[in-house]
Structure 1
Amino acid sequence: MNNLFVLVFVITLSVGSNNASRVFPKNQLYFRNSFSRTDEVLTVQCKSDDDDLGIHSVQRSYVYTFKFGDSIFGETKFVCTLKHGVNSQYSVTFTAYKQNHSIRFGAIKVWEALDDGIYLTDEDHHFLKMYGWVKS
């Protein structure tokens, strides 16, 4: 029992220290504007049960990103709405991140907004179309 107490105490200290981000890196979501038109702006709004991160405008070739930690209770989920076009006439709402019952550290998801839809990319730059744009 003493060993368990020491382990919990050490973990608590490292989470509270400045080096915690190296030991337990935050998860990250990226939203990249990859439209073909240079004047096309991507609007991103993400929400979890606890946070509304607000509305962010992303110019072409730029990225909006944020970092977060998973919940101890396994319920972290971010639902995001992406919009573009005149008067935001095209949009899609989807679950950009959902925790899978265990706590993850350093998970990265890169979402690319292209003319024909939203793509998920990986470290090897493979594109997988996940969602098409819906006209309002």
Structure 2
Amino acid sequence: MNQRTISQFSIFWLVIILTFGISGAFTVVSKLFGRNYVRIFNELDNGLLFFHCKSKDDDLGLRNLQPGTYWEFSFHQRVFGTTLYFCNFWYTNSSKIKFHAVFDVYRESTKFLNKRGWTILI
């Protein structure tokens, strides 16, 4: 092999090693932060609470909760502080009045503002 071929071959392997090394390092650093949990309770007097939660990368699906029950999900935050989960909530009360709201349930930039969570009273 000539010098140019060796140089191109070396650069190719350097790029491969750096690519996998960096992505592996991000995974390890992300796991060092621990898991984050979001728990959704249905504290309505009666009726199903419907919701749909997702992020840019994960769609957690359409779900519903009976009164007095909860559902939770967990995740690792991204290394660069761009983690955002949001949920659409809706229900119809006994008077057939419909309610709909959308909330950011986790935003990386504000995670320390409210450590106890959110309660939405209707």
Pick the TM interval, shorter chain.
0.5 to 0.7
Say if 2:33 and 2:77, in contact at 8 Å, map to a contact too.
Answer: no
Structure 1: tracts of 5 or more residues without a match:
1-11, 117-136
Deviations 1:43-73 (A, max 9, x none): 1211111111101111110001000110012
Secondary structure, aligned partner of 1:60: coil
Say if 2:33 and 2:76, in contact at 8 Å, map to a contact too.
Answer: no
Say if 2:53 and 2:59, in contact at 8 Å, map to a contact too.
Answer: yes
Consecutive aligned runs of 4 or more in structure 1 exceeding 6 Å deviation: none
User: TM-score if structure 1 supplies the norm length?
Assistant: 0.56
Q: CA RMSD in A?
A: 2.9
Q: What is the 5 A alignment of 1:1-136?
A: 24-37=33-46, 40-85=47-92, 89-100=98-109, 110-112=117-119, 114=121, 116=122
User: TM-score if structure 2 supplies the norm length?
Assistant: 0.61
Which is richer in strand?
1
Which is richer in helix?
2
Of the two, which has the highest radius of gyration?
2
- Which gives a bigger RCO, structure 1 or 2 (Cα 8 Å, sep 6+)? 1
Q: C-alpha distance in 1, partners of 2:63/2:116? A: 18
**How many residues align structurally?**
91
Task: Name the % identity.
Answer: 27
Structure 2: tracts of 5 or more residues without a match:
1-24
